[in-house]
Structures are given as C-alpha cells and as structure tokens.
Amino acid sequence: MTDIQKELQKIRGIGEVLAKRLAEAGHDTFEKIAEAGEEGLRAIKGMNPRSVAAIVAQAAELAKGRAEDRDRRVEELKAAALTLRDQVEGIARSVRERFADELEKKTARRVEKEFLKVVTTLEKVEGKIGRRVKRAGKGLAKAEKRLAGLADTGLKGVERGLRRTRKALKRVLA
C-alpha cells in the first residue's frame, strides 16, 4: 500500500480497496477529491452512493487544513531565512573586526567573496520557499547548523564553513 493510499484512508468511508481505486482514477489528494465532487466520485466502482457527500465534505476540510498548515510553515521558513541572513551579517562583522589587519590578504578576499555568495544563494532560497517547503526547511536548518560555530574559528575555518553553508542552501535550489 502506498503513502497516497494511506493518506486517503484518513477520510471516513475510504478503505484500502477504495483508496486504491481513487488513486488509480487520479483522485490521489484531498484537493482532487473535493474538486471531483459527488458526480466525479459516483463514477468510481465500489463507491457507496450514500457516503459520497460525506467523503467530499471531509476531503474539502482536510484540504483546507493542509493549506493552512502549509502557509504557516512557509511563514516560519521565511522568518528562519531572515534570522539566517542576520547571522551571516553578524559573522561578517565579527570577521572584519577580528581580522582587520589581515583583510588585504588573499584568504580574506576569498572569505569576503564567500559571504557574498552565501547572501546571494540565501536570497534565491527565499524566493523558492513557497514552492519547496520541505526541502527549504531542511536546507535552512542545515545552513544554520553550519553557521553555528563560525564566530569563533579562524579565517580559513570561516571560509570552509561558509562554503558548507552555501552547499546546504544550494540543495534547496537543486
């Protein structure tokens, strides 16, 4: 049994067989079941005509709840992206203060470029959050973890950590 069929069985009146038939007919989400309406579901073999209205109503309610959960999650991820941006800017200020005498060297210039790349990648991720919620959540969490210890490391450690942070963010875009 697939995850789709298990998900459809959350609706009272849909068992294993009916979930399979609904999925085969293309009604594999709550939204699609609600869109199909009573007439669309009556055409499916094995559908109890008396429970069609209740199934459509339940599907519409579950679809509405899922949309609200998704919107809430997107807002949380946007806030996390802003926090991450503030973290990157704070680390950049810290690096400038700690390594002021080394800012003319090649390593410092590379670190500066990495900061710019991370900020650019983060901006791209912020644009994709609405379309890739799950992947964005994972990428932002991993990027935050990568940035956690950078305030105390040396210049090369900061560069390496920024590369890893950017790599975690790029996975959201892939």
pTM (2 d.p.): 0.65
Average pLDDT along the chain: 88
Q: Is the pLDDT of residue 151 over 80?
A: no
Tokens of 46: 């094995």
Q: Is the pLDDT of residue 113 over 70?
A: yes
How confident is the model at residue 103, as a pLDDT? 65
